[in-house]
A and B are shown apart, each in its own frame.
Chain A
Amino acid sequence: MSFQFTEEQIKRYSRHIILPEVGGVGQQKLLNAKVLVIGAGGLGSPSIYYLAAAGVGTIGIVDFDVVDFSNLQRQILHNTSRVGVPKVESAKMTVEALNPDVKVIAYNKKLDKSNVLDIIKDFDIVLDGSDNFPTRFLVNDACYMLGKPLVSAAILRFEGQLTVFDYRNKETSPCYRCLIPEPPPPGLVPSCQEAGLLGVVGGIMGTLQANEALKLILGIGEPLVGKLLVFDALKTEFRTVKFRKNPKCELCGENPTITDLIEYEQACEVRF
């Protein structure tokens, strides 16, 4: 792989280039990479910010919301002056101010059956930082169908979860539905609007998502495939739970019944 960095790029990425596992070759891989982040909120803020700082050349951001004061306790891409601005626009402004090497593609829309495949298809990796089950299942099924690696994280109260589904290797990687076959019934799992969330948990889990994405791009280390990382902020403890591909999984099992995208109903639309 050949590369030609400007003086500014050599300085900006020098701490990467020095690493034997990265070097100029790895930095060029990052600049060539295209990562899609679902949600510019508590998880998307840190993941997008670190991916941009790392020089990931193309970052797609999907969000249909506008910045609200209630977001600013954790969503560090946004700030007080951006209240009322679409989150994707606010995110784009913050990223462009950080690193002009990054091209941001903003999707100010809600993902649905009609657009999800088209949006995901041109990206190398997808990070799910959404806040609801219908989006999580839609994104998972679309990534599975397109063979895109999915870095999935979730946060609630003082707890965070993280795992990687590597759909480039469908034979070996479990899928989201192996872990959670279908959305839980309405009311069973509270949203963070109902249950609350320590803002920094999003910072920790979103940063770990960015870490997994960078490893996948660089082809280094071991991605968190078949392992669920659970973070307890109160005890400051990480636990790793292994899980396997479910042979009876309706999406990736031996006799799959899910062959089309499914739009589930959002159980709770409460807003504060």
Chain B
Amino acid sequence: MQVDRELDLKGEVCPFTFVKSKLIIEQMEKGQVLRIILDYQPSVENVPKSMEMEGQEVLAVNQIGDKLWEVVVRKVK
């Protein structure tokens, strides 16, 4: 999977994990993919949920380490 942009949000909590992800997505081109790194567990549920509510496509949510997750989103609109 080609990732166009990566955003490291370690240390960030809700709602700023989503706010910061959204600000990046807004400035990307349609079809591009953003990979978000999170270490705050509630955000692992909330960021994908909010992204889908905004009409974006969540491609993957994976645990990639001890208290470390990735959320991969494609910009649709």
B: number of interface residues (CB 8 Å):
12
Which of B19, B20, B22, B50 is packed against the most chain A CB atoms within 10 Å?
Answer: B19
Q: Which residue of A lies closest to B18 (CB)?
A: A18
Q: Which residue of A lies closest to B24 (CB)?
A: A24
A20→B54 CA distance, assembly (Å): 6
What are the residues of chain A within 8 A of B19 when measuring CB–CB?
10, 14, 17-18
Q: Does B23 touch A at the CB level, under 8 Å? A: yes
Given the interface contacts A2-B27, A3-B27, does A23 sit within 8 Å of B22 by beta carbon?
yes
A10→B17 CA distance, assembly (Å): 11
CB distance from B32 to the nearest CB of A (A): 15
A5 touches B27 (CB 8 A): no
Given the interface contacts A17-B22, A18-B22, does A24 sit within 8 Å of B16 by beta carbon?
no
Q: Does A239 touch B at the CB level, under 8 Å? A: no
A: number of interface residues (CB 8 Å):
12
Which of B18, B27, B54 is packed against the most chain A CB atoms within 10 Å?
Answer: B27
Q: Does B42 touch A at the CB level, under 8 Å? A: no
Q: Give residues of chain A (1-31) contacting chain B, Cβ–Cβ below 8 Å.
A: 2-3, 5, 10-11, 14, 17-18, 20, 23-25
Residues of A whose CB lies within 8 Å of any CB of B are: 2-3, 5, 10-11, 14, 17-18, 20, 23-25
Q: List 22 A-B contacts (CB under 8 A).
A: A2-B27, A3-B23, A3-B27, A10-B20, A10-B23, A11-B16, A14-B15, A14-B16, A14-B19, A17-B19, A17-B22, A17-B23, A18-B15, A18-B18, A18-B19, A18-B50, A23-B22, A23-B23, A23-B26, A24-B26, A24-B27, A25-B26
Q: A18-B19, A24-B22, A25-B26 are in contact. List 13 more A-B contacts (CB 8 A).
A: A2-B27, A3-B27, A5-B23, A14-B15, A14-B16, A14-B19, A17-B22, A17-B23, A18-B18, A23-B23, A23-B26, A24-B23, A24-B27
